[in-house]
Amino acid sequence: MPLSEHEQRLLEQMERALHAEDPKLASTLRGSDLRSHYRRRAMKAVVGFVLGVVLLMAGVITPQIVVGVVGFVVMLASALFALSSWKRMPGEGEVVRGAAEAPRPKQKVRFMDRIEERWRRRRDSNGR
């Protein structure tokens, strides 16, 4: 639903007041590139994965099994972190908006909800 002219003017006034009061916060809320955020997270995960490999090799070379196990756990956690960052990475040019402008995410339809909806349609089509 679009805002009325009066509401748009009030919103612009509030934005100017926020920018005048705290320019750093205003620039943070203005928006940032999601791709660069998730790319940084993925790079941190790659560094963690490499650190896990180093720990794993150190555990194999030295007779300390605990170091190798810790290295494996770090590798696994880093790989999961990288995959989650990769899956969340948006398409080219998508931008995070301020809290007032953020579009609401579509709710995922659960499996059971779909099954129940099909059951209702089937029951209604049979004349009940």
The sign of the dihedral angle between the CA atoms of 9, 14, 16, 17 is: positive
**Residue 59: how many CB atoms within 10 A of its CB?**
18
Are the C-beta atoms of 50 and 17 separated by less than 8 Å? no
- For the residues 73-90, what does the mean pLDDT come to? 86
Query: Is residue 1's pLDDT more than 70?
Result: no
The sign of the dihedral angle between the CA atoms of 91, 94, 99, 105 is: negative
> Percentage of residues in the chain with pLDDT exceeding 70?
75
Query: Is residue 100's pLDDT more than 60?
Result: no
> Percentage of residues in the chain with pLDDT exceeding 90?
27
Give residue 117's pLDDT band: very low, low, confident or very high (50, 70, 90): confident
Are the C-beta atoms of 71 and 52 separated by less than 8 Å? yes
The pLDDT of residue 102 is 47
The pLDDT of residue 91 is 61
Q: Which helix (H) or strand (E) holds 21?
A: helix 5-21
Q: Which range has highest mean pLDDT (17-26, 67-76, 80-89, 107-116)?
A: 67-76
Give the start-to-end residue ranges of the domains of the chain. 7-91
Amino acid at 84: S
In tens, the pLDDT along 19-66 reads 788 777 766 666 556 677 778 888 899 999 999 999 999 999 998 899
Give the SS3 label for residue 33: strand
- What pTM did the predictor assign? 0.49
**Residue 47: how many CB atoms within 10 A of its CB?**
10
Helix axes 5-21, 23-30, angle to 10 degrees: 130
Per-state percent for the chain, helix, strand, coil, to nearest 5:
70, 5, 25
